[in-house]
Structures are given as C-alpha cells and as structure tokens.
Amino acid sequence: MIDREQLVTRHNTRFSALHNEPLSVGNGRFCFTADYTGLQSEPALYPGFPLTTMAEWGWHSYPDAPKSEKGLRLTSYDTFGRGVRYATEHEGQEELFYALRRNAHKVSLARLSFTLDASGLAGGTAVARTLDMYRGVLSSEFIAAGETVNVETFVDPDRDAVYVRAESPLLASGRLGIELSFPYGSHTISGADWTKPDRHTTESVAGDGTAHVTRRLDDLSFSVRADSPGALITAGEHSLSFVWDKPAVWLCVRFDMNSAWFARNYPRGADAAEPFGAAKLRLAEFWRGYWQSGGAIDLSESSDPRAFELERRIVLSQYLTAIQSRGSLPPAETGLTLNSWYGKFNVEMHCWHMAHFALWGRAGVIRPSLAWYKSALPAAREIARSQGYEGARWPKLCDASGYNSPSAIAVLLIWQQPHPIMLAELIRRAGAPPEFTREYAEVIAETANFMVSFARWDGSRYVLGPPYYPSQERFDPRTVLNAGFEVEYFRWGLRKAAEWTAETGGTPDPRWIQVADKLAAPAVADGVFPAHENCPETFTTAPFNTDHPSQTAMLGFLPGDGVDRAVMSATLDRVLSDWDIPSVWGWDFPMMAMTAARLGRREDAVNLLLMDSPKNTCMPSGHNRQGDKADLPLYLPGNGALLLAAAMMAAGWDGAEGYAPGFPEGFVTRHEGLSRYI
C-alpha cells in the first residue's frame, strides 16, 4: 500500500524567497493564480506570466465582433478533382479574419490584491510560499512595512469561489487591506484590459461584511458575492475595498455566471459564504479523497537517480491537470491560468489533455468534456457539409460553439477526428455502463462517416490527402499524402467505430471496415517511416525534421497493429540522431517514450521523459514551459502526455508482459489503481 499523503507532500512546491513563478489553486473549472503574497498584489514581478482569475464559462466577445463567417473569402484547394474551400488566407481581409480568431476569448474575471495605506502594495519581501497539493492550500508569508503577513489561499472544490485568510498586526491597524478590482475583457495572454473603464459596468451594493456585484462586459454578465465578517467595504467604480480592525480576517469571493448554462452545470451555494474553517475542512476532505482514489506511482525505492525527478513531475502534473482540466469543455493548452490562442481550445490536443485520466482511475473526469462533442455535433456536421463531406468534421481551434476559427493551418488538420472515439473507448475500458456506448453511438458514427468520406480510392487503395496538414505542421498541405500517424489513427478509429456500433445493437456501415482494411500502408523510405508518402527526405532536410515526430505515434500512442516494429525502432533512432530536438514540443517526448516502451527500449523511454530540451522542462510548479515561446509559459498537454506515458509504462498495455513493463532496471515502480492502455 502506497503512503499517498507522503508521496504527494514530498513534492509540494516550496519557495523560501521571491521566485518569479506564480502558483495556482483551482477546482478544475475555476482557477486563481497568485504571487508571493498569496493574492495578486504585484503583477509586475511576473513578466510574461499574468496573474489571473479564470472560469471555463468566462467567454467574452468585443461588441463589434462578427456574428458569422459571412463575407469571409475562402481559398479553394484541389481535392481529387474538386475544389474544397477553407478559411486559410488573411491577405486583404485581415480585419474580419482576425476578429473571428479573437472572438470569443476567455477573460480574467477579477484581481484580488493587498493594499497598504490605501495604495497598491509594492516592495514587500517574500519569506516563504508552500503549495500543499494534498490539501489544496497555498500558504504564503511576506513582510510589508516591517510586519509579517501570513496568508492562506484556496479555491472551493464545488463552487467558483476563492477563500483567503490573512493574519498581521497591519490588519488590526487598518493599514493593510484587500482590493477586489475588475478589468475589461481582452483576447491577450492576460485576458484583462485595465485601460478601458468606460467599456464595462460594475454595479455594487455593500453591506455589513457582505457585498454584491453585477458585472457586464458586452455579451458576458456575471455576479460576484464577497463575504468577510467585520470588514468595512467601500465600492469604487470598478472595485471593492476591504479593511478591518482585527489582526486575523478571512474573505470569500464567489463568481456566478448569469446564465441558464451555469445553473445547469454548477451548484449554486447558499447566499452566505461558508466560514473559512468549515470550507477548509471540506476542501481537505475533497483533496484527500482525490489523492486517495484513482492511481498512484511511487518510485521512492528506486536506485536510479532519475527516479525522484520523474516522480516529482508525475505528482505535480496530477495536481495541475486536476485544478485546470476537469470542466465541461476541452481545456485550452494553458488551461485556466492564462490565454493561449485567445483562451480557445485546440481540439487536436484533447486526448493529450484528458486520456490519462482513464488510466489513472478517473475516467469520469473525461465525460463532461467528451459531452461537448454531442453539443458541437450540429456545427461539425455543417463543417463537413460545407466542404462536400458526409458525417461530422470536428473543428480544431474553437470556443464552446464548435465552429472553427480561420487559420492558415488549423482548418486543414484532421488528426483530431478520431479523438472522440479514442476517449470514449478509454472510458468504456475503464468500466463505463452499457448505456454509455449507446449514448455516444451517434457521435461515433458521424465521426466515422466523415473519415470514410474524406478517404479517396486511387484505383488500388484508399488514401488520405492531399490536401491536409498532418500533426507535424511543416508541409505544403497540397503535397501531403498518407501521413503515417493519420493513416493509422483513421484505420484504428474506423475499426473501433464498427465494433462500438455492433455492441450497441446497430449495423456498422460496411464502408468503415472496407476503408480501414484498404487504407494505404505507412510509407517506408530508406528503412524508416517518413512524415508522409511524398516526403522521403524527412530526416535530411529542414524543416521536415522539425516539430512533432508524429510518425512514432503509430506504435506507441496507437497499438500499431501491422506496423513493422523493426522499421519503427529504426525510425526512433533516426529521430534521436537527426531530428531538431529543440523544436520538439512538450507532448512529443512522452509520445516517443510510449513508442520506446512498446519496442522494449525501456531505458530510452525514461530518457525521453526526462530529456534535457527547451520544451521538455518541468518548473518548480510542475509547469511545462515551451522554451522561449512568450505565449506558452506553461503547456498542459505536456503534463497530460507525461501522465499517459507514465501510467502506460507502469501498468502496461494490451499484450505487454511483466510488471511495470516500460521501466528499466534501477527503477522500483510501485503502483496501484492504474489501468492498462490499449
């Protein structure tokens, strides 16, 4: 039996002085990111890493945002003798093109910060910060005006509310206060614009220790309730100020979206906030239950010196995905910490964000965001219909609506297409009831219908493309033919769709198996798998040997039925020797580790998980920074992919033999509560 409390707490993030990395607390649908004060008091100390308060429902559009793609000029791509039109070119229509990309966007709902003598706090001295992941509490200590301030911060596990408890003589004298301030929305990385006070409204009613706020930002409206016994609350134009006359105080700020969607998806709490102590006990119960259930991997008895770092990355990744990726929508690549791609989600990353939950005994976490495919089905059908295809073509970059954002690349991707089949299959394998397969029968069927419609018969086989972008986005889409990963993912998805349909009592479309069986085999050039059939120079010519080496996913992320193992091993060797590794992304390293594990190359599997590369970092918080990319100071697909690979290497996969078949000698891999991978 693994001592899970000890496993988690030995990797708590601890800072003993000022550190330029903020820390976050959240509940999977709402996230609060704080500086050294435990609040958001000195954002200037964290350049490139904004301090935000974000909820998955916090979508905003500018008032002049276009309502549809009407008027957007599309570009025709020859597709086996017919033109298929895509929104790929911005030239001459920049305003409309980029307005569609930027709207809707996520916003930061508010800033919660300390004030000193009624002004912004500046120049405080950080003493210590500890993020207790096992209990979900961020503890901070700092010095201001010569006095110590101790702070505890956490997010309610059930409601979109942040709790703060502070203790200092400065509070009793009234010198130290807290301000809750509200910005206008922005599509930028911060999600906040503090320069346009006339573009939004804040209606506040302050009473004895309680304040109610109604916020309106164009098409976004939400309510805020603040509770703090004994607080003197003063309302400003877009702010609330709190001061006290006692040394120990607490404050709860709760956010509620004013919509029927919110009422359906989120519990509304009692009017008054639960006292801090009671809420903290409930929080501790939640987090203890979270860590004590599901899976665990303990590497502490290993002799290999890399074990501690790998275990640290695993535990921190579990925490980060728990606080940011358990909502009703696929997560953005930076979750609810800040805006990447305007806060929209990249659907092709959905599996890397979420698949690991099924292997870690938490398949239920996937189901809310998987349900998004049902709500987005009309939009996906319209995308397919408008291009002359059957079924539902899943978008790439979108908001909750499911409609694609125009993009030079995104609209031509196809590797997101089998994702709902993969995620549903992992949930089914984890023990979902029979009605689950029936619930998703339509999504699975329409997904497969597009895939067979997209494939084309060339006289001897079915082929994929051109045009499309493979997951390695380094090619002219007009030349891409039979990218190995896409071919094998379509093949696997079509066979699985037929299996699912038969299980639900339906009759599989015979085209599904026909296309799967006669899809082109992955191309081989010089004894290795190239990126696609028309690129034999993959490993010798830039930029073809940069970005994602996704051909390795054919045998690793996928079971690789029929994939030549010797050729794949040689391909992995060529990637390690001839690829531009600094250009490889955070999820690629675990992807290749899964390939190495299936090939029996256990040492390589661990080496890949921990490879020293700019985009394979693991910061003290656990965040996977993507090198010097200013828009990606963190990258949750890297964390999710690490967890998927680690669980697979520990628990095994279909056909694997032995205990912890992906770990080499020197690793003592104790694990429990994990499931085998496909």
Q: What is the pLDDT of residues 96-153, one digit of tens each?
A: 999 999 999 999 999 999 999 989 998 899 999 999 999 999 999 999 999 999 999 9
CA torsion, ordered 182, 187, 193, 197, to nearest 10 deg: -70
SS3 per-residue string spanning 530-576: CCCCCCCCCCCCCCCCCCCCHHHHHHCCCCCCCCCHHHHHHHHHHHH
**252 in the same domain as 321:** no
Number of domains in the chain: 2
Are residue 176 and residue 51 in the same domain, yes or no?
Answer: yes
Q: In this structure, are 197 and 323 located in the same domain?
A: no
Asked, for residue 330, whether it belongs to a domain, the answer is: yes
Among 139, 142, 130, 146, smallest CA distance to 165 is for: 139
Question: How would residue 68 be classed by pLDDT, with cut points 50, 70 and 90?
Answer: confident
Cβ neighbours for 18, distance < 8 A, ≥ 6 positions apart: 36, 45, 125, 126
Q: Which amino acid is at 86?
A: Y
Residue 519 belongs to some domain of the structure: no
Check whether residue 265 and residue 315 sit in a common domain.
no
Query: Which own/partner contact pairs does 503-510 have at CB distance under 8 Å and 24+ positions apart?
Result: 503/437, 504/437, 504/438, 504/441, 506/441, 506/445, 509/445, 509/448, 509/449, 509/452
Residues 614 and 667 in one domain: yes
Cβ-Cβ contacts under 8 Å for 479 (sequence gap 6 or more): 466, 534, 535
Gap between the Cα atoms of 605 and 650, Å rounded? 12
Residue 586 belongs to what domain range? 293-345+581-678
How far is 499 from 483, CA to CA, in rounded Å? 25
pLDDT of residue 207: 86
Q: Per-residue confidence at 270, pLDDT binned at 50, 70, 90?
A: very low
> With a threshold of 0.85, does the pTM exceed it?
yes
660 is a domain residue: yes
Q: If DSSP codes are grouped into helix, strand and coil, which group holds residue 454? A: helix
Q: What is the pLDDT of residues 8-67, one digit of tens each?
A: 999 999 999 989 899 999 999 999 999 999 999 999 999 999 999 999 999 999 999 998
User: Of 224, 255, 270, which residue constitutes the final position of a domain?
Assistant: 270
Q: Are 257 and 303 in the same domain?
A: no
Task: Give the tens place of pLDDT for each residue, 438-452.
Answer: 999 999 999 999 999
User: What DSSP string describes 246-278?
Assistant: SSEEEEEEEEEESSHHHHHHS----SSPPPHHH
Note whether 240 and 109 are same-domain residues: yes
Establish if 87 belongs to a structural domain: no
Tokens coding 583: 């250009």
DSSP character for 523? Answer: P
334 plus 261 within the same structural domain: no
Cross-strand bridge partners of residue 340: none
The mean pLDDT of 537-564, rounded to a whole number, is 97
Judge if 139 and 182 occupy the same domain.
Answer: yes
Give the 3-state secondary structure of residue 477.
coil
Q: Are 19 and 129 in contact (CB under 8 A)?
A: yes
Residue 268 has pLDDT above 90, yes or no: no
Same domain, 250 and 119: yes
Is there a single domain that holds both residue 613 and residue 644? Answer: yes
Answer yes or no: do 263 and 298 share one domain: no
